[in-house]
Amino acid sequence: MTRQTRTRRQALRDEAAGWFALMRGPDAELSRPAFETWLAADPLHRDAFNRIGETFSLGKGLKLLPDAKSGAFSGVTVASAPRSLTTVVRRAAIAMVLVIGIVSATTLLLHNLGAFVSAPPAQQRVLATARGEVRDFALADGSRLTLDTDSDVSVSFSAARRDLALTRGRARFAVAHEARPFVVAAAGNLVIARGTVFDITLGAHRTAVVDLIEGAVDVRSSVAPQARRPGEASATRQSAATRLTAGHSLALGTAQVRPSPRLPASRDWPDGLRDFRAVRLGDLVGEANRYAGKPIVLASPDLAGLQVSGTFGIRDTERLAGNLAELLGLAVRHNGEALVLVRR
């Protein structure tokens, strides 16, 4: 056996040991899809995992000899007075073999689990954007994260998991494919991904919307969510664990509240230019004001219902106000703190 082959086998044993320990822990069910994918990827994976399991079973099943005065061994009573020296030697030899087996099995198990047990602590960081800022971040696993204006995500990567939590705003996750599950917590829900691209937008009253762009994700919710295709008026009730596929959205919430109006999900929100089709002026202005240093204000409530279509740069509210005024026959007034759209 070459040195390279030995190194590869050792790496495979270490990987199998890590999965064995993980699947016996409290996060086993959450990690099961990734584990089954790893198991099916190569017959050698299953063989290595079974060997770790056999080693663990051997170490668990053997018991050390008790005090010699008790005369008991692993639940079997030893004769109190051996009849010959041969009998004594035979029993001592059997005991020695079993003790050696225990030591060997324990040593092998600790060696195989060593990489997992001694894994470094999780790497934690908090990523955030200021009002009006949209920013891209590169994560340690090769994934990409785009944070919308005034948004917050905490990141914690360990040897077994990739955990994130969206606590404010909106984020796009472009997930690098690997065995560790990529889990995003948002509004009391968990979005579990592998190699995918998806958005999560937090709303009021502990609600959130997941928009899946590529791949598939599993969503675990504390209440039954409603799944819909973009543009569908009706929704179908789903179970608390839902598989979401590309082109679908999922509305999540831990409180039964009527959702506030929101613009249709847009894949191009990280870009400066946005394409709008027949949206209410009030909704468009509300979206733009999320980025604004100087917000746009509508002079009268009836202006909010005007229909708007076109491609606009929503991060520059002064230019946007001028474009909207020209398109809708309005005028822009500057009052020092805001840009006011009024009828001419």
Are residues 132 and 227 both part of a single domain? yes
Do 145 and 58 fall within a single domain? no
The residue that leads in pLDDT, 113 or 185, is: 185
| pLDDT reading at 175 higher than 60 | yes
**Do both 24 and 106 map to the same domain?**
yes
The listed range with the strongest mean pLDDT (44-48, 117-121, 164-168, 227-231) is: 164-168
247 and 129 in a common domain: yes
The burial class, CB within 10 Å (0-12 / 13-18 / 19+), for 238 is: middle
Tell me, yes or no, whether 282 and 333 share the same domain. Answer: yes
Q: What does the pLDDT read at residue 31? A: 73
Sign of the dihedral defined by the CA atoms of residues 315, 317, 319, 322, in that order: positive
User: Mapping DSSP to helix (H, G, I), strand (E, B) and coil, where does residue 53 land?
Assistant: helix
| Statement: residue 334 has pLDDT above 70 | yes
**How many domains, the chain?**
3
| Domain's final residue, options 223, 253, 283 | 253
pLDDT of residue 129: 95
Position 327 pLDDT exceeds 90: yes
168 and 133 in contact (C-beta within 8 Å)? no
Of the listed ranges 52-56, 97-101, 322-326, 336-340, the one predicted with least confidence: 97-101
- Residue scoring higher pLDDT (329 or 271): 329
Evaluate whether residue 260 is within a structural domain: no
Lowest mean pLDDT among 9-18, 260-269, 314-323: 260-269
**CATH classification at residue 169:** 2.60.120.1440
Give the pLDDT of residue 225. Answer: 47
Same-domain pairing of 138 and 249: yes
The parent domain of residue 318 ranges over 273-343
Does 290 map to a domain? yes
Evaluate whether 245 touches 216 at the Cβ level (below 8 Å). yes
Average pLDDT over residues 336-340: 91
Give pLDDT, residue 95: 56
* 85 pLDDT higher than 60: no
Last residue of a domain, one of 97, 117, 137: 117
The per-residue pLDDT of the chain, averaged, comes to 77
pTM, 2 dp? 0.57
Tell me if 267 is assigned to some domain.
no
In a domain, 249, yes or no: yes
Least confident of 121-125, 197-201, 294-298: 121-125
pLDDT digits (tens, 9 = 90+) for 211-253: 999 999 999 875 444 555 554 543 444 445 789 999 899 988 7
Q: How sure is the predictor about 36, in pLDDT bands with cuts at 50, 70 and 90? A: confident
Residue 266 lies in a domain: no
Top pLDDT among 299 and 63 is at 299
| Statement to judge: residues 129 and 243 lie in one domain | yes
Assigned domain for 50 exists: yes
Section 277-306 average pLDDT: 92
* Residue finishing a domain among 117, 144, 171: 117
- β-pair type (170-174, 197-202): antiparallel
- Among residues 181, 115, 170, which one has the least CA distance to residue 143? 181
Mean pLDDT of 14-24: 79
Q: Is 144 exposed, middle or buried (0-12, 13-18, 19+ CB in 10 A)?
A: middle
127 and 249, same domain (yes or no): yes
- In DSSP notation, 13-35 reads HHHHHHHHHHHTSTTHHHHHHHH
Pairing of strands 241-245, 197-202: unpaired
Higher-scoring residue by pLDDT: 271, 107: 271
> Domain with 307 in it: what CATH number?
3.55.50.30
Query: Is the same domain home to 244 and 205?
Result: yes
- Give pLDDT, residue 219: 92
Q: Is the predicted pLDDT of residue 183 greater than 60, yes or no?
A: yes
